[in-house]
Amino acid sequence: MRYQTPQFIEEETKLFGPLTFKQFVYLIGGAGISFAVYKMLPFLLAILIIAPVAGASLALAFYKINERPFIDAVEAAFYFIISNRLYTYQKIDKPTQQLRTSQKTMIAPVPKIGASTSRLKDLAWSLDINENIKDKSKDNFDMGVNDKIKI
């Protein structure tokens, strides 16, 4: 069964001509506030209030900072103003005992060649260690030229 993958999910749908729903709400809200101020106050005083309201509604609807909506910048500024900006250093103690025990378990004991009872055991042990080192080194390197990926 095939499913169609959604595309252009970052782009908002245009509902009112060339405007998205958010842009339409910002513009209608600004126009409504401007009309109410115009009706309640004298003209010269109303102009002083209408100009910033209209500018704010236009900025919310159309202005972008670093390809992000203006409302995101307003929100970030608001949280910056109300948040605590005093940073103090607090040392975090690390459990040193646990660190030392984990390092001890990672290191394998190396038998002394002269103390071994059998030369065959020494040879088997050294081959086993060398194979483990080679296997781990293969995992850490990229694939070679002869290795191909089938897609």
Q: Are 38 and 30 in contact (CB under 8 A)?
A: no
- The pLDDT of 22-41, averaged and rounded, is 95
Report d(CA 110, CA 108) in Å as an integer. 6
Q: Would the pLDDT of 2 be above 80?
A: yes
Q: Among 28-37, 51-60, 78-87, 105-114, which is the least confidently predicted range?
A: 105-114
> Smallest Cα–Cα separation from 63: which of 118, 88, 54?
54
Q: 95, exposed or middle or buried, with CB in 10 Å at 0-12, 13-18, 19+?
A: exposed
> Smallest Cα–Cα separation from 111: which of 101, 126, 133, 127?
126
Report d(CA 102, CA 60) in Å as an integer. 55
Question: Average pLDDT over the chain, rounded to whole?
Answer: 78
Q: Among 3-7, 16-20, 44-48, 93-97, which is the least confidently predicted range?
A: 93-97
The pLDDT score that the predictor gives to residue 101 is 55
Q: Which amino acid is at 2?
A: R
The pLDDT score that the predictor gives to residue 111 is 55
The pLDDT score that the predictor gives to residue 59 is 95
* DSSP secondary structure letters along 71-82: HHHHHHHHHHHH
Instruction: Tell me the pairing of strands 19-20 and 68-69.
Output: unpaired
Three-class SS state of 65? strand
The pLDDT score that the predictor gives to residue 31 is 96
Cα Rg, the chain, nearest whole Å: 35
